A and B are shown apart, each in its own frame.
Chain A
Amino acid sequence: MNDRNKIIYTLILLINITPYLYVFYNFKKINFNIDGIIGFYPIFGFLACISLIIIAKILAVVLKKGDTYYD
């Protein structure tokens, strides 16, 4: 099994575990209304990361220079 497949299987496993973790989650002890929504943390985390990567990529257009820029 090569590395790529290993990653894919691990990711599938992780995504499938996620819903079952709600067994331990107490919906009466939520902090703000927003984290009472099922799937809030996974979706928020995913979107946050994707948007961070997009922002970084946009900034890279202006800010990335060759390795020897200052030399």
Chain B
Amino acid sequence: MISSLISHPAFPLAIGSLFIFIFKEKANLISIGSILISLFVLLFITDNIDYVYKSGLASLNYFSYSKLAYLFCLVFLIMGLIGKLFSIYRDSYKEKAMVLIYISSAIFVLFSGDFLTLYIFWEIMAIASTMVIWSSNSDKSLSAGNRYLLMHLLGGLILLLGIIGLYIDTNNLQIRLLNLDTWYNWMILVGFLLNAGAPPFSQWIPDAYPEGSYSSTVFLSAYTTKTSVFILIVTFAGSHILMLIGIYMIMYGIIYALLENDIRRILSYSIVNQVGFMIVGIGIGTELSLNGTAAHAFSHIIYKGLLLMSAGSVIYMINKYKCTDVGGLYKTMPLTAICGIIGALAISAFPLTSGFISKSMIVDASIHEGMQLVWLMLLVGSAGVFLHAGIKFPWFVFFHRDKKIITTDPPIYMKYAMIIASTICIVIGIWPQLLYGLLPYPVDFIPYTGNHVVSQLHLLFFSALAFFISLKYLERTLTLTLDIDWLYRGKIKYIKLLTKYIFSMINKTENIFSFTSLRNKFTTLEDYLLRQTTISAMLILILIIFSVSLIMNIS
């Protein structure tokens, strides 16, 4: 048991997070050290090994090697290292420890061999990421974190029901390719898709992520949605309904980002958009498209991290979150601007960047399958990405109206982090073989053909033209855009009455069990969770019981 845990790449991170709570001053050193150890462990992983933990009740296959999991684990650790470098100046040991638990649980999910193990770490990941959001210690992050947690617990429950159904029917929980022919497989799909930000609940990404601190958003953007992409590749590759969902996400991300004013929220909407491309790739389901999805996830994690780091630097230096408050920063923050522009070019798949060599695989896969409509939609998406993330983000932050803000580039380690991420974006773009060698299937794809490059440049040039022609109409205003969360956050009379009724019922039941001290007058769902300590206490208790039972069973 112990020896197999030591050779698990997620284990050093879990131990590291415990050490951070003991040695609070050395949080940075411990985080970076444990990620380096994890990378070291990852190098020595050999395939065809399955580690199974057996107890009286169940057997948990917590390590099962696959080439895809290796690729995702590698990029998770690289992004973790860069993000940790970036967050060195963040003065919160709790955030640093929680980030380590978050990364560790995400890696455990990657290497899970059965659905039960996956479910356990799936839930730990949801709780840890909520803690990461809460660590920015503002009222807004508290309520956004609550909504985030609710959404993920709901998704987790649906997933659990699906897993139970699968077990009852087939008595086999091994993670494998599933068909959408039974109700429980649909529930598993819904549970996974909810974490990927699929409709109608795409809204949790731009709601929760921008409320984290300047450094935690970098981590949040990388793990939850991409673990979900990973598991969808493994379980639902080739389900054609995913193409529709992906196309919806692409369009949703673009349109909402065009209306958005908050800098990090624009980038969060573009996470939905980019994950949409990956979901389309999974839906197509050929070897080329799955390779493309994996490659796109790899490059996406790095350039999205880079974009959020440059946004984070702006927030760290001048503490302003909105497009309407910033502008003309390229004069005072030249390095941040250059790195931000490299990230923006990479996300819009400009030739010689990492986005180009990965996205063109997904687009080409749709061509090989003869799906003309999907291909046209992906082209609209590619043009739209340049519109909302490629130009809009750098333009409104670093150029546009000079607001004469006096500031400088961020401190040295934050600069290093951004430089490393931009270098990776460009190196992969120039030498795609570095990435292609790691992909799950053999790659027979040449990104730099005349047709690819010319068509992409044509699309991008004229998207830029469209942007600047309609610049007058894209002028940012101090507004927010309604979304599905209006249903539970808004001021609708009946829903408010309903929640009031439900909570009065809960209060009554609490009375019966004589929890009178906890009784309060709750009016909304958020209010309830904010004051309700029992739920969080219960979660911690479950975690403790689980870990104790693990330790007791070691033999």
The residues of A with any CB-CB pair to B shorter than 8 Å are: 3, 7, 11, 14-15, 17-18, 21-22, 24-26, 29-32, 34-35, 41-46, 48-50, 52-53, 55-57, 59-60, 62-67, 69-70
Chain A residues within 8 Å of B173, by CB: none
Interface residues in B363-414 by Cβ distance below 8 A to A read 367, 372, 375-376, 379-380, 383-384, 387, 399
Is A49 a contact partner of B467 (Cβ separation < 8 A)? yes
Cα distance A42–B386 when bound, in Å? 13
User: Nearest Cβ distance between residue A32 and chain B, in whole angstroms?
Assistant: 5
Contact of A45 among B383, B478, B482, B489 (CB under 8 A): B383
Is B461 a contact partner of A65 (Cβ separation < 8 A)? no
Is B450 a contact partner of A26 (Cβ separation < 8 A)? yes
Is A52 a contact partner of B464 (Cβ separation < 8 A)? no
Is B454 a contact partner of A65 (Cβ separation < 8 A)? no
Cα distance A18–B450 when bound, in Å? 14
Chain B residues within 8 Å of A24, by CB: 450, 453-454
Annotate B50-81 by CB proximity to A: 1 below 8 A, 0 otherwise: 00000000000000000000000000000000
Is B461 a contact partner of A17 (Cβ separation < 8 A)? yes
User: Nearest Cβ distance between residue A57 and chain B, in whole angstroms?
Assistant: 6
6 pairs, A vs B, C-beta closer than 8 Å: A41-B455, A44-B379, A44-B383, A52-B380, A53-B258, A67-B261
Is A45 a contact partner of B453 (Cβ separation < 8 A)? no
Is B375 a contact partner of A32 (Cβ separation < 8 A)? yes
Chain B residues within 8 Å of A22, by CB: 454
Chain A residues within 8 Å of B468, by CB: 7, 11
Given A3-B399, A32-B375, is A56 in contact with B255 using a C-beta cutoff of 8 Å? yes
User: Nearest Cβ distance between residue B150 and chain A, in whole angstroms?
Assistant: 16
Q: Quick check: is B284 within 8 A (CB to CB) of the other chain?
A: no
Q: Quick check: is B542 within 8 A (CB to CB) of the other chain?
A: no
Is A46 a contact partner of B463 (Cβ separation < 8 A)? yes
Q: Quick check: is B45 within 8 A (CB to CB) of the other chain?
A: no
Is B384 a contact partner of A49 (Cβ separation < 8 A)? yes
Given A11-B465, A18-B458, is A48 in contact with B383 using a C-beta cutoff of 8 Å? yes
Look across to chain B and name the residue whose beta carbon is closest to the beta carbon of A8: B468
The residues of B with any CB-CB pair to A shorter than 8 Å are: 251, 254-256, 258-259, 261, 367, 372, 375-376, 379-380, 383-384, 387, 399, 449-451, 453-455, 457-470, 473-474, 477-483, 489-490
Given A11-B465, A49-B383, is A59 in contact with B458 using a C-beta cutoff of 8 Å? no
Given A32-B375, A45-B459, A49-B384, is A56 in contact with B464 using a C-beta cutoff of 8 Å? no
Is B480 a contact partner of A67 (Cβ separation < 8 A)? yes
Look across to chain A and name the residue whose beta carbon is closest to the beta carbon of B474: A53
Chain A residues within 8 Å of B461, by CB: 14-15, 17-18, 42, 45
Chain A residues within 8 Å of B449, by CB: 26, 29
User: Nearest Cβ distance between residue B91 and chain A, in whole angstroms?
Assistant: 28
Is B458 a contact partner of A41 (Cβ separation < 8 A)? yes
Is A45 a contact partner of B460 (Cβ separation < 8 A)? yes
Chain B residues within 8 Å of A55, by CB: 255
Chain A residues within 8 Å of B384, by CB: 48-49, 52
Cα distance A21–B489 when bound, in Å? 51
Cα distance A69–B478 when bound, in Å? 11
Which of A32, A50, A65 is most buried by chain B, counting CB atoms within 10 A of its CB?
A: A50
Cα distance A35–B452 when bound, in Å? 12
Is B457 a contact partner of A21 (Cβ separation < 8 A)? yes
Cα distance A35–B450 when bound, in Å? 14
Look across to chain A and name the residue whose beta carbon is closest to the beta carbon of B401: A3
User: Nearest Cβ distance between residue B328 and chain A, in whole angstroms?
Assistant: 9
Chain A residues within 8 Å of B463, by CB: 45-46, 48-49
Look across to chain A and name the residue whose beta carbon is closest to the beta carbon of B261: A67
User: Nearest Cβ distance between residue B415 and chain A, in whole angstroms?
Assistant: 26
Is A64 a contact partner of B379 (Cβ separation < 8 A)? no
Chain A residues within 8 Å of B455, by CB: 25, 35, 41
Is A25 a contact partner of B466 (Cβ separation < 8 A)? no
Cα distance A29–B449 when bound, in Å? 10
Chain B residues within 8 Å of A14, by CB: 461, 464-465
Is A44 a contact partner of B465 (Cβ separation < 8 A)? no
Cα distance A10–B383 when bound, in Å? 18
**New A-B pairs, 11, CB < 8 Å, besides A11-B465, A21-B457, A65-B481:** A3-B399, A14-B464, A22-B454, A24-B453, A26-B450, A44-B379, A45-B463, A49-B462, A65-B480, A67-B478, A70-B480
Is A60 a contact partner of B481 (Cβ separation < 8 A)? yes
Contact of B259 among A21, A59, A66, A70 (CB under 8 A): A59
Cα distance A55–B258 when bound, in Å? 10
Cα distance A32–B254 when bound, in Å? 26
Cα distance A15–B235 when bound, in Å? 45
Given A45-B379, A49-B467, is A21 in contact with B458 using a C-beta cutoff of 8 Å? yes
Look across to chain B and name the residue whose beta carbon is closest to the beta carbon of A39: B458
Cα distance A51–B473 when bound, in Å? 13
Cα distance A45–B385 when bound, in Å? 11
Cα distance A67–B322 when bound, in Å? 11
Shortest 10 CB-CB contacts between residues of A and residues of B:
A49-B466, A41-B458, A24-B450, A45-B459, A46-B462, A56-B258, A45-B383, A48-B380, A45-B462, A42-B462
Is A41 a contact partner of B459 (Cβ separation < 8 A)? yes
User: Nearest Cβ distance between residue B227 and chain A, in whole angstroms?
Assistant: 29
User: Nearest Cβ distance between residue A36 and chain B, in whole angstroms?
Assistant: 11
Is B473 a contact partner of A53 (Cβ separation < 8 A)? yes
User: Nearest Cβ distance between residue A24 and chain B, in whole angstroms?
Assistant: 4
Look across to chain B and name the residue whose beta carbon is closest to the beta carbon of A53: B470
